[in-house]
Amino acid sequence: SGTPITDWITAYYLFDTLFVENKYNLTIPVWAHKYWDELQEVYDESYYWWYKSYLMKRLRGGPLMKKLIEIMNEKIDGELPDLKFQIFSTHDDNLALLLEIFDIFPLKLPPYASTLLFELYRGTYNANFVRLLYLNSTEPELGNQTPHILKLHGCEEYCPLEFFTKSAQPFFPVNWEEECGITR
């Protein structure tokens, strides 16, 4: 387009467009190949900077995390006896936010169709645990793929639900209007 790239936001949007075009086998400009790696690096780092702030994690990632924990507690309390799994479909930036809430963001944008699994387990003495699994590639042509086990800081593979909840709770918004600076 001839637009000068003078900041990371412009580079982000440019790479996002080029990435989608490339993914779907559309023709991208010849010059883009020369700068592909550099643009991708800026793109990935921009996610980190956008979502590293406490407020952004709280307002963008907190509501979904709160909903996930509410569903887990409803299952434990017997309010959802037939529920075996719950699926949410979301964008890569929301997955990045969920990872960032627990400070386990890999500094690389989650690929399209990545999967973040939150498994709820009941252990001995009715103790409840959460296990996080991350499948960061969902290209069937690669064959069977094994998700990565993610560990929260201070937890093992199976994290007590109480610890998991305590770690996420600071990111649950309480008053949207106030926290977003909305005045009526």
pLDDT tens sequence across 10-62:
888 899 999 999 989 999 999 999 999 999 988 888 877 777 888 888 888 99
Domain 55-180 has CATH 3.40.50.1240: yes
**Where is pLDDT greater, at 139 or 184?**
184
Residues contacting residue 181 through CB under 8 Å, at least 6 positions apart: none
Residues contacting residue 51 through CB under 8 Å, at least 6 positions apart: 57, 60, 61, 93, 96, 97, 100, 105
**Mean pLDDT score, 145-154:** 89
Rg (CA), the chain: 19
Which one, of 105, 109, 99, 121, lies nearest residue 41 by Cα?
109
**How confident is the prediction for the chain on average, in pLDDT?**
88
Query: What is the domain partition of the chain in residue ranges?
Result: 8-50, 55-180
